[in-house]
Structure 1
Amino acid sequence: MISVRSTPFVTSQVDGHIINASGVVPVSASRFVFIDNSDPRALLELNLNPDGTQDGPIVRRHLVGLAAGALSDPEGIARVDTGAGFDLIVTSSLCVKSAPPPGKVHAHDGLVRIRYTPDGDLHADPMHGFRDWLIACHPALPAAAQLSPDQSGLNIEGVAWDPSRRALLFGVRSPVTAGRIPVLCVCLDTDAPWSTTALQPGPELSIEKSDFASPQGIRDIEYDSARQEFLVVLGRSLSLGTAPFQLCTWDGTASSVTVLDVKFEPSTMKPEGVAAIPGGGARSIVFVDDAGGFAVLNGA
């Protein structure tokens, strides 16, 4: 069993608050972009040395083009390679806010496309009406979309690009039922204008896993292009659950996953972002956690 322990970011705070990291993707062999889900107006960059230590402070990359409320509670990020470079796509949790007014549902929303450039501000393009579109396309979601996460309401905590399907895969933290964890597949026409007209519902996908009395949900999902499989972090579905975090691989089609022999130190590590580090040889993986830290796992 390999034990993974979090190392605090050299810069543990940005703009006066502790970084609440969630979702991470590589933009080069040593540079990674991740989300601070308490800061929907920026992405953060982590640079790594060859030995896996942090190289310099966290860099805040401001997002331009976002109106107030166009993105809230960001939880997942995916890299989509295009002919002209690559885009980063960020999703909100899409969950109901913790204290909605009586008789009215106020929910986090947002699916945002960002054209990555190595320096400076990043241009962000929000997709209006995405949450409503997604709910309308999945019969199991309308009821869950009215409930808070700890009532088994809709809660998305990861997104990955599936190049074989040309689709975004949304990892569901809740609702899950009877050991079945849904993965919402949304086909995307990357050449079309950035609106819901570019989307089509994909096939129904799910991961079957029922090892624990307390249900697990997806805490992040990311595609490993070198091995043509997905890395999936599972964790408790509800905030008071007791299921542990686990690292899995998934081929994107089967209902079963392969659980890797990895243990996250519960006192230091709450992984909510995972990505393979580009390069040949044995796989190395970077994790970010929502207590302001990261970890590198070699030879996974």
Structure 2
Amino acid sequence: MPYPAGADVTEQDQQFPAQQQQPPGLTAPMSPAPDHGESSYEGHGLLTDRRALITGGDSGIGRAVALAFAREGADVAVVYLPEEQADADETRRWVEQAGRTCVLIPTDLTDESSARGAVTTAVTELGGLDILVNNAGFQMARRESIADITSDDLDRTFKTNLYALFWVTQTALEHLGEGAVILNNSSIQAYQPSETLLDYASTKAAINNFTVNLAAEVGSRGIRVNAVAPGPIWTPLQPATQFPEKVEKFGADTPLGRAGQPAEVAPAFVFLAADSTASYVSGTVLGVTGGKPVF
């Protein structure tokens, strides 16, 4: 179990132990362990035999989405950094436990040819593609002002969050047909940006615009495009990019008084991916923020 027996993961004023990792961050050292829905998510056949590519699907929200998609009947391909292999192997274990295929694609998405090649690999291994989840993202909050952001910092954030999303989506559209779905991972930072996340918040606002514009373009092809905007969610990215003292009260400033778990975000992706629940939903951003507004 991700929490000790009897623990209430939804109690307000939840406090995390001070902790720190180096990017990109891994699941195993986290305390407490994130909840990806391993013991709670129940599928209902909403995505039977669909084929999904999930970037950043090794951990955090990406793993929760991969697990949920698999339990809904989908096969998945997961893109991740080579140094995240241990997390990717664990994601594959849960997907295969659900009786579905999991293709692992270790790739640096900040390289254009690698990003495009990841899509080609996924299509080949899965036999096609029906759902694209642009989930991979990077942030760095261990700084005080714009003066601390270097060109290299900017390059890494924008290439991971925007360039890769563009390259992957552009290539995927060569294979996506009528009824396909593209889902982008945005953030509450697009609406309520933190001073220490200026570059990251900028990319998330751009992702919202990208989502709306692309939905208008590909709607005539029968392809839906939406985004999910999570609030503060307990993933490896947090201890890997925040100051330890910030981790302690992570998520406490939400109206619900706590951080969310990846398992609480994944159902939003399932809802938007399934024709039975969201066939007329396109060009929108769905907030999963613990009460913070996304309008």
TM-score by length of 2: 0.31
Question: Bigger relative contact order, structure 1 or 2, given CA contacts below 8 A and separation 6+?
Answer: 2
Higher strand proportion: 1
TM-score normalised according to structure 1 size: 0.30
